Amino acid sequence: MIRESKFYLYLGLGVLAFSLVWLILVFFQIEGNIGSPGNSPRTVPFFLGCCMSILGVIFLYQYYLGYRPKISIKGVQNNEFRNVFFCIIVFLLYAFLLEWFGFLVSTPFILFVLSRFILKEKNWKFNLLFPVIITGSIYFIFIVLLHSTLPRGIFF
């Protein structure tokens, strides 16, 4: 199979090499144990290194499948400026809500707003299930697996 672009090959190899160096540095530079009952300073950097490794493998697989990057000559459209401005406002609102209502109340609300108005998702089942599943997944990862805490807010 002849591939016109080696973008995903170089990107995948670069991300994979960076993540491997990252993981090596995490083990030799940061004190702590992975998998201990409590968090250590090594937990989050190790998790990020694993995510970067997976991303590198995904880019290499995309190269293997023959994906090519899209070349866009068009400029930025007006609705993109509106979406960026709307996201900034929503994330400022999220910071405010997170302080007052905590993670479990404000995150599903903000994800619902983003999926409804930025992604323009019309399906109400998706609009209701997506925020709950994402919030539940994050809760499971941080509370159950990492034995960490999430912001509770003033009211909760």
CA torsion through residues 48, 51, 57, 62, sign: negative
pLDDT in tens, 8-45: 888 899 999 999 998 998 888 877 665 555 667 777 78
Instruction: Mark the ranges of the chain whose per-residue pLDDT is less than 70.
Output: 1-4, 32-39, 69-78, 156
- Are the C-beta atoms of residues 2 and 59 closer than 8 Å to each other? no
The residues near 30 (Cβ < 8 Å, ≥ 6 apart) are 41, 42, 45
Query: Which amino acid does the sequence have at 128?
Result: L
pLDDT for the residue 152: 84
